[in-house]
Amino acid sequence: MLLLPAPTSRMQLNFGSSRAVTKAVHGKKTDSVDAFFQTGQDDVWWRYQAISQDSRYGHYVRIPGRICRCLDYFKISSSRRAITERLHSYYLFIGVVDDVIDSGEPEAGRQILKQLDSRNPVFNEETKESHARLVTEVFKCHISLETYPAVLAKLEELYRAVVRERECMTMGAYINERKAIGRLTAEVSYLLIRPLFTSEHKDLCRFLQKVGEVGCLVDSAIDLRTDVRLGLTRFSPSLKDYLQLVSHLLREGLRILVRHIRLLGLFLEAISDNLLDLLRARGGYPVRCQFR
């Protein structure tokens, strides 16, 4: 996705040790995350760091910095570090799960939702062996208790939209589902960071949703041919279909740009970042990530 996926420069979490992590994040996550930070299993944290620094997920883990720049644009004060950490866990989770589903395991999405049903993080050997399980457990740690039910409900909606997307038989239906995926992905990101604000910011939420919709269409314009070749769609788009997708993308994108012209540089940066990262990371075949 455009802004959602894709911030400025590669973001690396550089806390140095699990003790520093505990100090940095306590009080910002669910109250049940002690299992992660008190086990003394530094290998869990370093495994997570290795996943987050994988170039395949570069355009996902750069998202938080770009969203923080949007907070500056909307003049919203909050802890940028807390927001960055929270969104980093979310978009890395999205990136890894997306790879799992694209690798021919669509039902893995349902398994992951079941894993999220339990709020208590579990970092055992089974978790360590699976990228999908590991990022899911870490993501749990970054969801506030007061928003956990709402986040889970939106993720359920998101999964259903992904399933519907795979069943689309026309470009019109495909565009609608892609927009729904982008909108829901952005809405979850807002729900995650809302507890870190002193007040509600519905204008920000609407903005993120609109950008998320356009961003998903940008991804589709880049990835659709590869998805068709890999059998990830039920229809084979014609030239007319591609023109419909691009024209819809340009129309919706210009609407956002006209209203937020000061963010032109950010949008161009995001598009360039998406093109470079997605073409490099998904130029061949989907990455197969274990979900056991």
Token pair 């866990």: residue: 89
The pLDDT score that the predictor gives to residue 2 is 46
Q: What is the rounded CA–CA span in Å between residue 285 and residue 223? A: 11
The pLDDT score that the predictor gives to residue 71 is 95
The pLDDT score that the predictor gives to residue 226 is 84
Return the structure tokens found at 1. 């996705």
Helix 80-102, helix 63-73: angle, nearest 10: 140
Residue 73 to residues 121, 233, 260, 264, Cα–Cα distance (Å): 35, 37, 9, 12
How many CA atoms lie less than 13 Å away from 15 in the CB half-sphere? 19
Contact 38, 141 (CB under 8 A): no
Contact 70, 263 (CB under 8 A): yes
Query: pLDDT category, 280, cuts 50, 70, 90?
Result: low
Q: Region 196-215: what's the mean pLDDT?
A: 95
Taking only the tens place, the pLDDT of each residue in 212-232 is: 999 999 989 888 988 898 888
Q: What is the rounded CA–CA span in Å between residue 235 and residue 61? A: 31
Please tell me which residue, 203 or 8, carries the higher pLDDT value.
Answer: 203
Taking only the tens place, the pLDDT of each residue in 242-279 is: 999 999 999 999 999 999 999 988 888 888 877 776 56
Q: What is the rounded CA–CA span in Å between residue 18 and residue 193? A: 23
3-state secondary structure the chain: CCCCCCCCCCCCCCCCCHHHHHHHHCCCCCCCCHHHHCCCCHHHHHHHHHHHCCHHHHHHHCHHHHHHHHHHHCCCCCCHHHHHHHHHHHHHHHHHHHHHHHCCCCCHHHHHHHHHHCCCCCCCHHHHCCHHHHHHHHHHCCCCHHHHHHHHHHHHHHHHHHHHHHHCCCHHHHHHHHHHHHHHHHHHHHHHHHHHCCCCCHHHHHHHHHHHHHHHHHHHHHHHHHHHHCCCCCCCCCHHHHHHHHHHHHHHHHHHHHHCHHHHHHHHHHHHHHHHHHHHHCCCCCCCCCCC
Q: What is the rounded CA–CA span in Å between residue 159 and residue 8? A: 28
Lowest-pLDDT choice from 6-15, 21-30, 31-40, 119-128: 6-15
Residue 5: cis peptide before it, omega within 30 degrees of 0: yes
